Structure 1
């Protein structure tokens, strides 16, 4: 009999189903909402050319941004550290909390980090949705 522990597999978000056509590292976090069972990141999300809603960026813009959210459903555990960083304000007065610099999934727990803090979320599912 072996006492070996099962291998832990850490998966980057872009390898998860439904995430390949988004670039979270370039998407702006506009707000984070945590409610019982749900965590939502309001985003100006960057789409890759493979996304059906992708449009060529206009002059002076290099990426295709769309309003949307990163949503975790069926949340049973949430640990959010490093909260309280002041948001950035751009020249037009828009406020943001930086980007989702990293997001991985390991053994049912999503680990995220950015200027807004770091978060560990045990959730049944995660997805990105673009506003209509």
Structure 2
């Protein structure tokens, strides 16, 4: 049996993590992330000078999407490459996130957390 959604985020602080990019393919959405790892995470390293977190690259992959809404800010994001996350929630197959990139709301059959 697979891990629960909550356990997949163990030792990852999503609201301190950073969104790097959004990739949409057919019925799949991939969020490229810099995850903020807690000290108990297996890939944790001491944060670099001037950093609050141990940032580690990874992805959130959503497959079998049945509903998807992307709300982008008017005027774009002015060449920004790292986007702060202000709200994040997963409830069953529903996912909602607010960030500087924009708001993402979706329903998906599969939600995977991958750290590189």
1:128 aligns to what? 113
Partners of 1:18 and 1:107 lie apart in 2 by 13
Per residue, is there more strand in 1 or in 2? 2
Partners of 2:108 and 2:47 lie apart in 1 by 34
1:86 aligns to what? 77
1:12 aligns to what? none
Tell me by how many angstroms 1:108 deviates.
Answer: 2.6
Partners of 1:61 and 1:72 lie apart in 2 by 29
Partners of 1:31 and 1:116 lie apart in 2 by 9
Bigger Rg, which one: 1
> Do structure 1's residue 62 and structure 2's residue 52 form an aligned pair?
yes
Q: How many residues of Structure 1 are paired with residues of Structure 2 in the alignment?
A: 111
Compared CA separation, residues 107 and 44, structure 1 to 2 (3 A): closer
- Of 104-113 and 117-126, the range deviating more from structure 2: 104-113
Q: Which runs of 4+ in 1 moved over 2 A?
A: 58-62, 82-85, 105-108
Compared CA separation, residues 22 and 65, structure 1 to 2 (3 A): same
Partners of 1:110 and 1:88 lie apart in 2 by 26
1:113 aligns to what? 98
Q: Which stretches in structure 1 are left out of the alignment for 5+ residues?
A: 1-14, 90-94
RMSD: 2.0
Asked if the contact 1:24/1:99 (under 8 Å) is kept, the reply is no
Q: Which stretches in structure 2 are left out of the alignment for 5+ residues?
A: none
- TM-score (structure 2 length as normaliser): 0.81
Partners of 2:91 and 2:15 lie apart in 1 by 19
Residue by residue over 1:64-87, the C-alpha shift from the partner in whole angstroms, topping out at 9 and shown as x without a partner, is: 011111111221211111256315
